[in-house]
Structure 1
Amino acid sequence: MVKVSIKNAGKVYDIELELTDTGKTFKEKIQELTLIPPQRQKILVKGGKVQDEATIESLNLSLKAPIMVLGTPDKDLPTKPVEKQVFLEDLNSSQLYKIDNEPSGLINLGNTCYLNSSMQVLFQIKDIADRLKNYNTTSSGAGSLSPQESLTSALKGVFSQMSQKQQNINPTLFLTILRNVYPQFAERSETGHFKQQDAEEAYSQILTALNNTLKIEDYFKLSFKATSKCLALPDAESTVTYEDASKLNCHISIQTNFLRDGLLSGLKETIEKYNDTLQSNTEYEINRTITRLPKYLTVQFVRFYWKRDTQKKSKILRKVQFPFELDLAEMLDDSIKQEKVSVRDNIRKVEKDNSDMIRDFKKAKRTNDSTIQLQQQQEEEEMKLLSIKTKFQDDLKAALPSIDLETVTENPSSVYQLQAIISHKGASADSGHYQAFVKDPLDLDGDKWWKFNDDKVSVIEKDKIEQLAGGGESDNALILLYKGIGL
């Protein structure tokens, strides 16, 4: 005898079953509790369907978490009394909090949009958020913390508030410590006000501090094989070196229309250096191929450059389109390409097998207004998402038995999905406005995104994200954060 829990319409029911019972018996017991006829039941279990003739033992049902059951009750069967409708204006703050799923905004403390947007993107990196949650300094007291330990502790406090979805968070302590650790962010104008800073510099410097305290470098590390050839001596043997980086650069020229163009351009360069055979300086062509892909890929649009006549960082406004799904297969070294492409193809098959469940989830709509029902619906949606994601992960593990998807720091495939963006509006890095755009993790198709304009948080659709490609002084994507597909 086993006890299985199911969840339907916000309520959890326990069902006792024999291991020799059939799927048909399971469905009949569900009908007794929920009034949903077997033909209307959709039971979210691994494999997608519960066959009538299958035994309970063969279904491997979860005994730890409730199994989500969807479907509409039979109108001809007795139903429970109608609950009294509750209106939003009658709710207290704790009830509203349970329904509100809006993420936290960060208060602008005076030209600090560069920092707010960077923190919003970093907060989306689950491995950082998890490590910060468990971070404890080993120093004997607060006064003996190193600067980077203090910065990490302060960021832990901000992320803790963000994880609780508190609104209008004030990051003053973190900002103060950041300016002490990295004095460039404390630069003031002639009028005494703190200057606008570069979001990419803030993003990178925070990661540098976290690398020191949380040891997260491998989550972001790219490795390259660089082949250098002297152009003046075509028959001379090429030299090979190896190097690491924390991001990919998208260089922008008049030929750059797509992210791919800029990335390929960044992997190839011509430099001048001394040649012993020629006894003079000569040009060398360097071609790089990628030998390691990180779990999280940071891509920087190299839009800012130093303009001598104005003595300022000016901005390249050219439109450069970027994909929501980025495949780097053509940029990989031959030593890893075949393996990465094989894993990519296996993940694609798993995605295709799970597409029906995702499609059914998207078709489901909220049908009631009652507050209690809203809470139940939110819980139900979260359970459905958990069921879908759990099934997807289980299927991935089965398809990729040699890869530990929970602890891996390297992307096992060549494909990434876009998670977040830092944008810049204006013509100069020293002015303008930075914002963050983050994909809603509860939206399986990525159609819903959150826009963070400091403490103002709003929802936008996917087509608005495409407009961040640039082409003027409006919002231009500056930093793209991608995550390995299936991770």
Structure 2
Amino acid sequence: MPKYSVKVKWGKEMFPGVEVNTDDDPVLFKAQIFALTGVQPERQKVVCKGVTLRDEEWGNFKLVNNAIVLVMGSKEEDVPAAPVEQTKFVEDMNESELATALDLPEGLINLGNTCYMNATVQCLKTVPELRNALLNYNKNSGGGTAGELTAALSETVAALEGGGAGACASAAARMLRALHATAPRFAERAPGGHLAQQDASECWTEIVRALQQRLPVSAPPPVNADRTSVVEQYFGGTLDVELVCSEAEEAPTKARETFLQLSCFISQDVKYLQSGLRSKMSEQITKLSETLGRDAIYTKTSKISRLPAYLTVQFIRFYFKEKESIYAKILKDVKFPVELDVYELCTPELQERLTPMRNKFKELEESSVESSLTAKNKNHGDSKKDSQPKKALPYWFEDDVGSNNSGYYRLQAVLTHKGRSATSGHYVAWVLRGNTWLRCDDDAVTPVPEEEVLKLSGGGDWHCAYLLLYGPKICEIPEPTDEPMITEVTEEPLPPGPTAQA
């Protein structure tokens, strides 16, 4: 690999020892310069020995060790402001001004068709347990390419947590190099010489596979001691599978399978996420029948026997179109809910275990409705009850940390694709932070209403959901207080006394 150590000169500042790998796209070098100077890549003019660096290729831009690379360009805040500052409303602000005004988190710069990676990172970052494990990861612990990718993701998450735009750009460049080393197919070039667009689902799988190897659990659950990684603990589920031959009398075959995500196949009849998941749980497959000595049709029935805390669902939107030799996209509108209930997909044994927490949710909902009706009848709100502190109950089974003990989930991230093919278009992450939905379009982060997120169900050329990430719905109950309970007392007439005798 041609690597050089150069000096970057920007104005009066000199940055020695900057490592450049000319096997990477020039835009990665510009991202490094951005991290050093704060000058956005599109505002940079990078010159060495009279030759200007282009975004697409190095061309005649020749480097040697200790070469001086001149950078011209100013940071946005260095541009002179208008002499008279006028009041700006939120509706009139650009994305940069909006991010500053609303204290929005940082995004990740696009290094040339890297939106698939940026969107994946933003979605995975919404899982608190995964985020904490990454922030505490020992970046010097080795582990080959999986270790490098995990360390790069750890650095990227730390940068997104408050490292600033420069740190995010530098981390994204390292993340891309680590991803290329782990899965070289992501380094493929398009006919024009620039990095080709890649599939976000494949990127998600590669990153999760690396984390599965490198992020051990701090304390393995007592029962599921085989779940040795954070990924298996919080993303891993199990399926009880039964195979029944449709063409011969055979004893049903039973097995147990593991999964890190569920698939929603899109057919003509599938209009909702729930029906797409349900259809996948009962399907016809062809396999060798030992009784018949040939391939036969089997009915494969699956039921979930372990629910993970965080449920990943992939819409199977791409299929190979032989005539055009491309992976075409199914644009069909498939609705998905903010709150998802997967109780019907579970085994009877798991359903029985889910019932106690589901009953708590039901009691809490009935209590809330009753309080609302009481307050409405009294023509005032129960402000004291609204302000009462609440206690969050564990969302996992006591003997299985990282599971889901209710079957209820809440949507917390959506990864979307806009375009007609898997090898083109654009990926964006839509993530929930607190009670606010954010659209993370590379380095542009903007708030959006929940209604806009629900419109990402497909049906046209607009962004449509490709991957969904659901987190556990939390049951919050009122905290007991030390205050004496006050009950309403009504006066009743005293019983009549003895009557006077004449």
Query: The residue matched to 2:314 in structure 1 has which SS?
Result: strand
Match of 1:483 in 2: 471
Larger helix fraction of residues: 1
Contact kept, 8 Å, 2:341 with 2:407, in 1: the verdict is yes
Query: The residue matched to 1:436 in structure 2 has which SS?
Result: strand
Contact kept, 8 Å, 1:230 with 1:282, in 2: the verdict is yes
TM-score by length of 1: 0.67
Q: Deviations over 1:358-416 (max 9, x none)?
A: 9xxxxxxxxxxxxxxxxxxxxxxxxxx9x98x7231xx26xx9x9459x8210111110
Return the alpha-carbon distance in structure 2 between the equivalents of residues 466 and 264 of structure 1: 21
Match of 1:134 in 2: 136
Contact kept, 8 Å, 2:143 with 2:214, in 1: the verdict is no
Return the alpha-carbon distance in structure 2 between the equivalents of residues 357 and 435 of structure 1: 41
Match of 1:150 in 2: 148
Return the alpha-carbon distance in structure 2 between the equivalents of residues 352 and 104 of structure 1: 40
Q: 1:472 to 1:211 in 2, by over 3 A?
A: same
Q: 1:307 to 1:98 in 2, by over 3 A?
A: closer
C-alpha root-mean-square deviation of aligned residues, in Å? 3.0
Q: Deviations over 1:315-346 (max 9, x none)?
A: 00100000111101111011111221331221
Match of 2:243 in 1: 228
Match of 1:102 in 2: 104
* Structure 2 unaligned blocks of 5 or more: 1-85, 89-97, 216-228, 373-385, 476-502
Q: Aligned AA for 1:265?
A: S
Return the alpha-carbon distance in structure 2 between the equivalents of residues 98 and 353 of structure 1: 41
Q: Aligned AA for 2:406?
A: S
Return the alpha-carbon distance in structure 1 between the equivalents of residues 203 and 453 of structure 2: 22
Counterparts of 1:46-445 in structure 2 under 5 Å? 100-137=102-139, 139=141, 146-164=144-162, 166-167=164-165, 169-170=168-169, 171-214=172-215, 215-216=229-230, 217-233=232-248, 235-350=249-364, 391-393=390-392, 396=393, 403-404=397-398, 408-441=401-434, 443=435
* Structure 1 unaligned blocks of 5 or more: 1-86, 90-95, 359-384
Contact kept, 8 Å, 1:102 with 1:165, in 2: the verdict is no
Structure 1 residue 97: deviation in Å?
10
Q: 1:107 to 1:224 in 2, by over 3 A?
A: same
Query: The residue matched to 1:131 in structure 2 has which SS?
Result: helix
Structure 1 residue 120: deviation in Å?
0.4
Match of 1:3 in 2: none
Structure 1 residue 357: deviation in Å?
11
Return the alpha-carbon distance in structure 2 between the equivalents of residues 415 and 105 of structure 1: 30
Match of 1:473 in 2: 461
Structure 1 residue 467: deviation in Å?
0.8
Q: 1:98 to 1:165 in 2, by over 3 A?
A: farther
Q: Aligned AA for 1:455?
A: D
Q: 1:356 to 1:197 in 2, by over 3 A?
A: farther
Structure 1 residue 351: deviation in Å?
5.9
Return the alpha-carbon distance in structure 2 between the equivalents of residues 131 and 346 of structure 1: 30
Q: Aligned AA for 1:304?
A: F
TM-score by length of 2: 0.65
Percent identity over paired residues: 34
Return the alpha-carbon distance in structure 2 between the equivalents of residues 151 and 344 of structure 1: 39
Structure 1 residue 254: deviation in Å?
0.5
Match of 2:439 in 1: 451
Return the alpha-carbon distance in structure 2 between the equivalents of residues 319 and 149 of structure 1: 39
Higher relative contact order (CA 8 A, sep 6+): 1
